[in-house]
Structure 1
């Protein structure tokens, strides 16, 4: 993930300094979602998630 400073520098280089704060917030949000996703994907979670799942072949 790019740092806040890196995003700010990049936005200035692209003449879009006014968008830096929005991009920083979006970056933090994406990082948070990734951490949550990784937590849900931890080993052993697959069995718990798929226990109630019915596959397409089972429905036909």
Structure 2
């Protein structure tokens, strides 16, 4: 964790913030396994210049 994320997770607003994430939870390191395996495999051989967002839908919820 970074100092900033630690402050958020330990604050009174932590639960309120998590409710704003469509999946209603904070991400875990294991949530990166699938995307990392994709990028490390031949399945991504034709991918270029893309942004792969792994955020539980947080960015889409703010649109």
Tell me, yes or no, whether TM beats 0.5.
no
* TM-score, normalised relative to structure 1: 0.33
**TM-score normalized by structure 2?**
0.32
Q: Which has the higher relative contact order, 1 or 2, with Cα contacts under 8 A spaced 6 or more apart?
A: 2
Which has the larger share of helix?
Answer: 1
